[in-house]
Amino acid sequence: MTNIEKKEKLQSLLAKNTGREEFYYTCLEEIDDLKTNYNDYMTTGPIDVETELERLSSADYDLCAAFLTMLLREDYFSNGAFERRYRNGQVTAIVERMIELL
């Protein structure tokens, strides 16, 4: 998939204006950017989501994909966490950074 196609998929994801995690999982899978090894990208252990997200402004594309995967996995362990982070603007900020980097 080209960067232009990835950018279009991510933009359509934002246009849905929803925090439903299944849309984000599907999108990351379709663009082949679901980072199952997301913990390899993190600097804290155990992972401290808030500390990790402070790195967003300087993150490269792969780190942003790892951040998004991290938030999706966080929701698995803490049901509803992804929706809360979406409402707080954290999910959108990651996707916007990914689009910017493409």
**Phi, psi angles (nearest 5°) of residue 80:** 100, -10
Residue 88 has pLDDT above 90, yes or no: yes
Q: Where are the domains of the chain?
A: 3-101
pLDDT band at 84 (very low <50, low <70, confident <90, very high): very high
How many angstroms separate the CA atoms of 59 and 25, rounded?
Answer: 20
Share of the chain above pLDDT 70, in %: 98
* pTM for this model (two decimals): 0.93
Q: Alpha-carbon torsion 41, 44, 48, 54, what sign?
A: negative
Residue 78 has pLDDT above 90, yes or no: no
What mean pLDDT is reported for the chain? 94
